[in-house]
Amino acid sequence: MSTSSSVNPAVFDWSGPNGLPRFEAVSDDDYAPAFDTALAAHDAEIDAIAKNPEAPTFANTIIASETAGDELSRVSALFWNKAGAHSNDAIQALEREIAPKMSRHYSKIGMNADLFRRIDTLWEKRTELGLTTEELRVLERHWKGFVKSGAKLEKTKQERLAAINERLASLGAQFGQNVLADEKSWCLPLDGEDDLAGIPDFLKEAMASVAAARGEGHSYVVTLSRSIIEPFLTFSTRRDLREQAFKAWVARGENGGETDNRAIVKETLALRAEKAGLLGYANYAALKLDDTMAKTPEAVNGLLMKVWEKALDQARIEERELAVLIAEEGKNHEVMPWDWRHYAEKLRARKFDFSEAELKPYLQLEKIIEACFDVAGRLFGIKAVPLKDVVGYHPDVRVFEIRDREDKLVAMFLGDYFARPSKRSGAWMSSFQSQHKLPLKNGAVGEIPIIYNVCNFAKPEAGRPALLSLDDARTLFHEFGHAAHGMLSNVTYPSVAGTGVSRDFVELPSQLYEHWLTVPEILKTYAVHYETGQPMPQALLEKVLAARTFNAGFATVEFTSSALVDMAFHTRGAVEDPMAVQAEVLKSIGLPQSLVMRHATPHFQHVFAGDGYSAGYYSYMWSEVLDADAFSAFEETGNAFDPAMAERLKANIYSVGGSIDPEVAYTSFRGRLPSPEAMLKKKGLAA
């Protein structure tokens, strides 16, 4: 492997157990020289492929491209993991430098005329090459990638497109850093008993732990970590403090000064619109949806508005019920966003005779992790073996071997579950290494996937168990569903491995996996009280299951309003005032004043901290149509772990990655494509 003398070999040569990186051997100072070396090596490899004097073949052009850039993949995987999960000032400064540099690098490749000529030649005669279905998909992905990178544009337009991409990369990095800065800098100290009114013990413990970690002399603090702020808004009886905390939460990225994201959003939307125009698309949404199941903005908005109308009707019913509770307390204020969670919790306790505080002692993090692994074992025949003495990228990270029924190693998995100031908010799955079966320069053939999950659960005091909310537990299952998609991958080519699928299909394996959390058999086994070890009482279990669709109007309105604003931005193009557009869209769809978007524009990281879910936030709902129908297939058998159905699921959804068309994949599993009805029923929005 080519390295300069100034590069730490541990960045590229992963000699930890089963090919893991040796995280402890890599310092922040190692990344910059490693990127320089890796970028130069990839340039040389691409140049050799493009200038190969032999006629283009699938092997000397496509396979060669698939295996090029190994050093760059490795340093990128390490660096972007660090930037998201354990950042600092030095990493953030380098991120602002690396993001545009990487954009320049890939723009240069995407506009390499010699390389595109070879790929275009193969594309034109693809029917004559005797390619497998997977190979055709890989060829198509390469060809479309070059076209969308401007390979067919004249030189001046190519240069402009490259400049746009570079600027967008910088803007995305800055957007995410600004949100993290606002989250880190804000806290609400709670020092007296009056401040703690209504707060249950589990939340007091979490807030005390965070206060101690911050070292600012306060007994308890509320932070903007979702695992703290949401239960605080749920349980605090101090309406003034709820309002203060809520307004800080929704104002991330909108506080003026250096961390304000509104100008970034405006510039981002203008550049995306210009990029779409250069590539011949009516708008940026049309560009992003070109290779998805939805295909068009009209199809997306059709689904979103169908759901919106039902969700809004339900939310209005819920709001009236909350208003009754407020009046019963002798208060006369309207339902506002900082009231909703608080009174919804009281309403749930009344309707279903249990509270989140009553449920939480039965949802221990350790047990929910075990439940995740058990479900994977029952469905897919894999088991997780903890490696106690292996160092991860942070002391909190756990490392596991994933083995199949024959005890063969199939993947490595890392779990990083606790919130910390150096970690961006939210939860996600990513990989250090994707699965494939191609020969490598070092003589090996293929690689196993190395997958990790990141969450932001409140870390308990030493010696105390981490207790989750039901939403937290669903999040853990959701991200492990993504992880399973990566770990069960069984394809030949890395570009279509694991989660390398269309954006509105990628959430199917994760959202589907959530269903197994509330299978009674799983809850009975793993929802055990952290003090007594006793399983959740049958009566409480039944209440939990009965309440699954409670507050569905609230949750669906929060999500759908965000998705509709995302689509509006990316179908309109450049806008003078994005916040005015957000307000206009929300007014036009009738968002009640008691509710807000789940992600207001200045902190909508899915859409603006990079390009991942731009014009694509809808995909969670698109996949939800699929996952509701897919789980119904198990329900129809009468066995949530039906072996034949599980095998079909693994063979057609979890293991094939992007090697076949997603509609073909789903139809192979289910026998047909779904309609939204099962999803609406699951949400409690249809009979």
Distance of alpha carbon 667 from the chain centroid: 25
For residue 216, what pLDDT is reported?
86
- The Cα–Cα gap between 252 and 600 comes to 9
Q: In this prediction, what percent of the chain has a pLDDT beyond 90? A: 94
For residue 191, what pLDDT is reported?
85
For residue 1, what pLDDT is reported?
44
Structural domains of the chain ordered from first start? 9-110+112-152 (1.20.1050.40), 186-251 (no CATH), 361-546 (1.10.1370.40)
- pTM, rounded to two decimals: 0.93
Q: What is the mean pLDDT of the chain?
A: 96
Q: Does pLDDT of 88 surpass 80? A: yes
Q: Judge whether 235 and 198 are in contact, CB under 8 Å.
A: yes
Angle between helices 70-85 and 31-50 (to 10 degrees): 140
Q: Which residues are catalytic?
A: 479
Task: State mean pLDDT over 635-647.
Answer: 98
Q: What tokens does 487 get?
A: 């770990």
Q: Judge whether 618 and 567 are in contact, CB under 8 Å.
A: yes
Q: What is the DSSP string of 641-659?
A: T-HHHHHHHIIIIIS-TTS
Q: Does pLDDT of 3 surpass 80? A: no
Task: State mean pLDDT over 86-91.
Answer: 96
- The Cα–Cα gap between 22 and 4 comes to 19
Q: Judge whether 440 and 45 are in contact, CB under 8 Å.
A: no
Q: Does pLDDT of 2 surpass 70? A: no
- The Cα–Cα gap between 527 and 333 comes to 38
Residue with tokens 């703690």: 196
Q: Does pLDDT of 418 surpass 80? A: yes
Task: State mean pLDDT over 35-60.
Answer: 98
Q: At 619, which amino acid appears?
A: S
Q: What tokens does 427 get?
A: 């939860």
Q: How does pLDDT run across 321-347, given as a tens digit for each residue?
A: 999 999 999 999 999 999 999 999 999
Q: What tokens does 410 get?
A: 């199939």
Q: What tokens does 57 get?
A: 């073949």
